[in-house]
A and B are shown apart, each in its own frame.
Chain A
Amino acid sequence: MTAPNFTIEELPSAEIPRKGVWYHFRTFCRRYPLGAIGAAITLVFVFCAIFAEFVTGMDPYTTNAATSLAAPGSSHMLGADVMGRDVFSRIVYGARISLMVGVGSTLVGCFFGVFIGLASGYLLGWFDLITQRIIDMMQALPLLVMALVMAASLGPSLENTIIAISIPLIPNVARIIRSNTLSLREMPFVESARASGFSEWRIAIRHVLPNTLAPLIVLATAQLGAAILTEASLSFLGLGIPEPHASWGRMLSESAAEYVRTAPWLVIFPGIAISLVVFGTNLLGDAVRDMLDPRQRKT
């Protein structure tokens, strides 16, 4: 038997080549084309929201009597409202408000929903019983009615709109997280963590919580569209975002009755913006659900 004429360093690496971001992106687009379209639409609105100043050179709050109700044209791409404000720049800045409220209320709703659901499913007993009854009560009202009463109670402002929409979202999140926690707490890895002497809270936060993230992401993407629609409805009814913020729902409310005949662009363009962003988040939400919930994939 002769000694090999190469060293161990010269052997080819046994490591499986890691797939890059570009590979995952292409796979996602190929498997979920509608989800990719949704992601692209959502990204366009996110870009507008972050870089609104660069997307449009016009100020959304500057009034000009000379351009009142100007039709779409070279000076105002999507026309001007009754105060002569540029509709395109108001829509671009409106994306910031809409996404801020949508993402903000979804995050706040998910945060409290996760906390309540986790505690309810983990502690059980009286805490669970009382929490579940309160959730039953909160779910007895439609999202908009609950948000309407909350918004009216808190008063119109950006922060209050986020709170008003996030509170009705809590029960949905808490229910899902609770049911997941109930099944997870009986799993062998939780039992072994308990046997290792970890505290119950440590097990709940470090071991159970990360395993509830997949359904949480699915739910959050589905709730995002609902939150954006609710903000638009609240602002349309005059109980959401106050002036001078450029809110899509408020833009429609200002133009609803008076300008349907004379300036239909005031009705059409803000509505397209709302529908497109919700359409995008819904498509993305469907793809995320299919990706993370294999049971749904076949249907």
Chain B
Amino acid sequence: MTSYIIRRLLLMALTLVGMSIIIFIMLRLVPGNIADILFDSAGFIDPQEKALLEEELGLHLPLWKQYWDWIYGLVQGDLGFSYVSELPTVDELGPRIPITAKLAGLSLFFAVLIGLPLGVISAVKQNTWADYVVRIISLSGLSLPSFWLGLLILTAFVAWAGYIPIYTSAPETWYDELALLITPAIAVGFRASAIIMRLTRSSMLEVMRQDYVRTARSKGASENVINYKHALRNAILPVTTIIGIEAAFLIGGLIVTETVFNIPGVARFLVEAIQWRDYPIVQNLVMLIALIVVVVNLMVDLLYAVLDPRIRYS
């Protein structure tokens, strides 16, 4: 087990180094940097001033040197300064990360709360109207863009409550914050709940055909005991994987939803930073996302062994 973890950690480090190179190159694929954007929007180009700005930001250095400076700083905990606000990247990201983390947590909570029971009901009541309804809900969840769902919720609020529940200023109490985050969390979590629903259903159906379930039924066990004690406990393994993967990949939905609901989180900030070619912010944020994804993947794999004692890593 220890050697497995060490091997996975080494692989993780390799993936992150590769990702850092890919992101660094991708951001510099097209000619033009923040100096070009600033000078173009100002409407004039003074080559001397532009060169001065590029020198100040370190953009005049060769690419390998820029990459080395970034990685060297990253390892030492120095994430650099934002090109736009000139504030340290840590100060820019610090207050935004908790907002996005809370929204992601709430979205995942909502996704599991809805997806898991509906998936079980759909499997237990296979080919009944309840199953068809759940399947249509889950397919809708996969088809509705989360930003449109967010816009629909806003439209509904305007029509029925007469106001829009968006972030205008920082909420004072946790209750206010919860009230503000619950609607975007539903918009983001709906898609994840659909995926969980579909996988729970297919996993349950697979398990319910196993011999030990038939044996339990022939022994006279009640349907509840069969469904929840025998079937669900065994069907939960692949569902755990998908919950983990969805937790890491929620950021895709968060990017657009934070934009719709005007939430000052880190996901919306990524889009703004990309548009401004604010390299330090984009590079470090993308690395953070990649780190979360690989760590969650590792945790899910390790959780496998805890949930299923038959699985042993060597």
* Pair from one complex: yes
Which one of A138, A252, A283 lies within 8 Å of B148 (CB-CB)? A252
**What's the Cα separation between A33 and B166 when bound, in Å?**
41
Indicate if B116 sits at the interface (CB-CB under 8 A).
Answer: no
**What's the Cα separation between A143 and B250 when bound, in Å?**
11
Q: Given contacts A140-B19, A153-B27, A275-B140, are A148 and B152 in contact (CB under 8 A)?
A: no
Contact at B29–A154, with CB atoms within 8 Å?
Answer: yes
**What's the Cα separation between A279 and B27 when bound, in Å?**
34
Contact at B143–A278, with CB atoms within 8 Å?
Answer: yes
Name which of A136, A140, A271 has the most chain B CB atoms within 10 A of its CB: A140
The smallest beta-carbon distance between B276 and chain A, in angstroms, is 10
The smallest beta-carbon distance between A156 and chain B, in angstroms, is 11
User: For residues 251 through 305 of chain B, which have their beta carbon under 8 Å from a beta carbon of chain A?
Assistant: 251-252, 255-256, 259-260, 270-271, 274-275, 277, 282, 286, 289-290, 293-294
Which one of A140, A149, A260, A286 lies within 8 Å of B26 (CB-CB)? A149
Q: Which residue of A lies closest to B11 (CB)?
A: A136
Number of interface residues of B (CB under 8 A): 52
Contact with B along A201-231 (1 / 0, CB 8 A): 0000000000000000000000001000100
Contact with B along A80-123 (1 / 0, CB 8 A): 00000000000000000000000000000000000000000000
Interface of B is mostly: helix
Contact at A141–B293, with CB atoms within 8 Å?
Answer: yes
Q: Which residue of B lies closest to A148 (CB)?
A: B274
On chain A, the residues within 8 Å of B93 by CB distance are none
Contact at A271–B143, with CB atoms within 8 Å?
Answer: no
Contact at A145–B154, with CB atoms within 8 Å?
Answer: no
The smallest beta-carbon distance between A225 and chain B, in angstroms, is 7
The smallest beta-carbon distance between B111 and chain A, in angstroms, is 15
A-B Cβ contacts below 8 A, count: 140
Number of interface residues of A (CB under 8 A): 46
Contact at A133–B15, with CB atoms within 8 Å?
Answer: yes
Contact at A279–B205, with CB atoms within 8 Å?
Answer: no
Q: Given contacts A149-B286, A225-B142, A275-B144, are A142 and B252 in contact (CB under 8 A)?
A: yes
On chain A, the residues within 8 Å of B18 by CB distance are 133-134, 136-137
Which one of A144, A149, A238, A256 lies within 8 Å of B23 (CB-CB)? A149
Contact at A283–B139, with CB atoms within 8 Å?
Answer: yes
Contact at A138–B158, with CB atoms within 8 Å?
Answer: no
Q: Given contacts A145-B252, A275-B144, are A256 and B151 in contact (CB under 8 A)?
A: yes
Indicate if A71 sits at the interface (CB-CB under 8 A).
Answer: no
Select the stretch in A8-16, A182-190, A261-269 that faces chain B.
A261-269
Q: Given contacts A141-B286, A152-B274, A239-B275, are A233 and B151 in contact (CB under 8 A)?
A: no
On chain A, the residues within 8 Å of B159 by CB distance are 264
Interface of A is mostly: helix
Which one of B155, B205, B289 lies within 8 Å of A142 (CB-CB)? B289
User: For residues 155 through 184 of chain B, which have their beta carbon under 8 Å from a beta carbon of chain A?
Assistant: 155, 158-159, 164
The smallest beta-carbon distance between A261 and chain B, in angstroms, is 5
Contact at A233–B147, with CB atoms within 8 Å?
Answer: yes
Indicate if A155 sits at the interface (CB-CB under 8 A).
Answer: yes
User: For residues 165 through 220 of chain B, which have their beta carbon under 8 Å from a beta carbon of chain A?
Assistant: 201-202, 205-206, 209
Q: Which residue of A lies closest to B291 (CB)?
A: A140
30 residue pairs A–B, Cβ–Cβ below 8 Å: A133-B18, A136-B18, A137-B19, A140-B15, A140-B16, A140-B19, A142-B252, A143-B252, A145-B252, A145-B289, A150-B26, A152-B277, A153-B26, A154-B30, A225-B142, A233-B252, A237-B255, A238-B275, A239-B271, A239-B274, A256-B147, A256-B151, A268-B152, A276-B143, A278-B142, A278-B144, A279-B140, A298-B209, A299-B202, A299-B205
Which positions in A face B, CB cutoff 8 Å?
133-134, 136-138, 140-145, 148-150, 152-155, 225, 229, 232-233, 236-239, 249, 252, 256, 260-261, 264, 267-268, 271, 274-276, 278-279, 282-283, 286, 296, 298-299
The 4 A-B pairs at the shortest CB distance, nearest first, are namely A271-B148, A144-B252, A279-B143, A137-B18
Given contacts A140-B15, A141-B290, 12 further A-B contacts (CB under 8 A): A133-B18, A134-B18, A136-B11, A136-B15, A143-B252, A152-B275, A229-B145, A233-B145, A233-B147, A264-B159, A274-B148, A299-B205
